[in-house]
Amino acid sequence: MKIGVLAYQGSFEEHALQVRRVLQKIGKGEVIQVKKPKDLDVDGIIIPGGESTTIGQVAQKMGLLDPLKEKISQGLPVLGTCAGAIMLSKEVRDAKIGKKDQPLIGVMDASIIRNFYGRQRESFEATINLEEIEGGHQRFVFIRAPAILKVWGKAKALASLNDVIVMAQEDQIITTTFHPELSGTTIVHEYFLEAVKR
Amino acid sequence: MRLYALSFEEIERFFYKLAELRDSVKDEGLMSYVPEISVVSGTVQGSTRVKHAFPIFQKGGVVMDVTNVEQAGIAEDAGAVSVMVLDKLPYDVRKAGGVARMADPKVIEEVMNSITLPVMAKVRIGHVYEAKVLEALGVDMIDESEVLTPADEEHHINKWEFRVPFVNGARNLGEALRRISEGASMIRTKGEPGTGNVSEAVKHIKIVNQELRNLLSMAEEDRVKKSRELQVPYELVELTVKYSRLPVVNFAAGGIATPADAALMMWLGTDGIFVGSGIFKSEDPLERAKAVVLATANWEDPEVVLEAQKMISERKAMMGVDIKTLKPEELMQVRGL
């Protein structure tokens, strides 16, 4: 199993570490960083947290955005956290600034709003019920986090916090608005790797 | 891609220990004001974990100094991860002289309302109240910076008191660890700001790297001695050894003016880049900003850095200043040890 992490900017090292931990548990596989179209020969890819505008612009400049979009449309499993979730959603707007042009992947039937909870001062940690993926209750951080306002079509919500969706899935596309890479549990990465195996 | 040996939780456990230390200091009456962490329906804001997480999402990115909404827009269009709002760019601080203070809150607010990126702002070293004002304003990160005129010649701000994360400058391991033990969530090299000359930033990161290597090769009893010498808790020295690097995100700052400068600093081991005068004191700010972003994200690949370097012209770069021509009193890096 070969898992790629989009590694221009953000929490890519943390994601790689979590994946490596899960791979050690199940005994095989490797993690590589993805920066160029030729790196896309992977069984699954992670789009990390960071600044979605930066990641999108650099990916576009490197000629990676379109091939990545095509691969995901063809069924490449993907996990997008925070900025990654923004990049994967079809509808994106900002809580304050409104609609803004930025390079996105836009493959998931989800409407997402950036900086939903406010600025860094309003960032928080919370316990999330992950029973839908048999993950129990886990503590996660939300940093200038977006919110998934609604999902439609084949997309479904997997977890919510105060009636706001924080984790969603559409076939092999999984998104979270929190940061499973900055937590003591590898449950979300395990769930993602299960999707890759299938 | 560099990999940490410890998980986020292990690091955070340590920082909670530091937070407990803070509370015991408060109980002894040594600290007058410590904000209560608010709990809203099972969620916690402004915790150590939340403060230390923010800089992780800046890694691999470029933070750009801006002085107005137009420049902030250029930074956003170029792919910056954050903007740092200042009254004057370091180059102009040098030229203007006088006391350099925090930026006008009205300007910071305008910038906050015009872009979606995080907005940082600088306060004078030790100026607790400029920091309180910026926290009330809601900036995403505060830079306690030697670019401004220090307000306290002896002390830095006690950053544990704040819900907003702080970034501080450092020229060596001792300065970096002292700032972390005061509650900084992020470190940057000091370099010599406003010069367009990267040599001091290179010097500072090399000193940190050398001191880290020395620490790693030391016997435990020597590390105990070293922690006393550096005036930091022994636990922090131990964490640094376990981690084999600074235990918080570390950026490069001070004199970065070209894509190759940025790639050089990443190659030397920093997690990201601050650019100030280098962008808006050049004649090609948008192209230069885009090029620096591209080079920072792809520093491992000389071909991409070459492409970035080709996007700009050396003829349009800011005029550099040779550090040797500066008088000792003109150096900014020696402020705040």
Contact across the interface for B60 and A8, Cβ inside 8 Å: yes
What secondary structure letter does DSSP report for B63?
E
Q: How many domains does chain A have?
A: 1
Domain span at A134:
2-197
Q: Which of B51, B88, B122, B203 is catalytic?
A: B122
| Cβ separation A7–B1 shorter than 8 A | yes
Which residue in the set B41, B115, B297 is minimally distant from A162, CB to CB? B41
The phi, psi pair for B196, rounded to 5°, reads 65, 20
B287, B307 contact by CB (below 8 A): no
List, for residues A9-42, the tens digit of each pLDDT value: 999 999 999 999 999 888 889 999 999 999 999 9
Q: What angle do CA B59, B115, B249 make, to 5 degrees?
A: 15
The verdict on a CB contact (< 8 Å) between B60 and A12 is yes
Scanning every residue of chain A, which has its alpha carbon at the shortest distance from the alpha carbon of B9? A184
Q: What order of strands is seen across the sheet that includes strand A124-129?
A: A137-142, A124-129, B43-45, B39-40
Taking CB atoms and an 8 Å limit, are A51 and B40 in contact across chains?
A: no
DSSP A12: H
Report the binding-site residues of B for D-ribose 5-phosphate.
Answer: 65, 194, 255, 276-277
Partners of A13 on chain B (C-beta within 8 Å) are 1-4, 59
pLDDT of residue B28: 63
Q: Provide the chain A residues 39-58 that lie in CB contact (below 8 A) with chain B.
A: 49-51, 53-54, 57-58
The reply to whether A4 touches chain B by the CB within 8 Å rule is no
Residues of chain A in contact with residue B79, where contact means CB-CB under 8 angstroms, are: 53-54, 57-58
From B4, B53, B79, residue closest to A53, measured CB to CB: B79
Q: Which of A48-52, A189-193, B194-198 has the lowest mean pLDDT?
A: B194-198
Contacts of B95 (CB under 8 A, 6+ apart): none
CATH of the domain at A12: 3.40.50.880
B60 contacts in chain A (CB < 8 Å): 7-10, 12, 50
> What whole-number distance in Å separates Cα of residue B121 and Cα of residue B102?
8
Rounded percentage of chain A residues whose pLDDT exceeds 90: 90
- The answer to whether the CB atoms of B57 and A35 lie below 8 A apart is no
* Residue B59 CB-half CA count within 13 A: 25
Which of chain B's residues have a Cβ under 8 Å away from the Cβ of A100?
116
| CB < 8 Å to B61, chain A | 9-10, 50-51, 54
Measured distance CA(B305)–CA(B261) in Å, rounded: 10
One digit per residue, the tens of pLDDT, for chain B of length 337 reads: 776 667 777 777 777 776 676 666 666 665 555 555 555 557 888 888 899 999 999 999 999 999 999 999 999 999 999 999 999 988 888 888 889 999 999 999 999 999 999 999 999 999 999 999 999 999 999 999 999 999 999 999 999 989 999 999 999 999 999 999 999 999 999 999 888 899 999 999 999 999 999 999 999 999 999 999 999 989 899 889 988 889 899 999 999 999 999 999 999 999 999 998 889 989 999 999 999 999 999 999 999 999 999 999 988 887 777 878 888 888 888 888 8
ipTM of the complex: 0.95
Tell me which fold the domain B48-330 belongs to: TIM Barrel (3.20.20)
Interface test with A, best of B11, B43, B244 (most A CBs within 10 A): B43
Exposure pattern of A39-57 as b/e (b: 16+ CB <10 Å)?
beebebbbbbbbbbbbbbb
Mean pLDDT across chain A: 95
For the beta carbon of residue B99, count every other beta carbon within 10 angstroms: 10
Q: CB–CB of B81 and A114 under 8 A?
A: no
- A162 interfacial to chain B (CB closer than 8 Å): yes
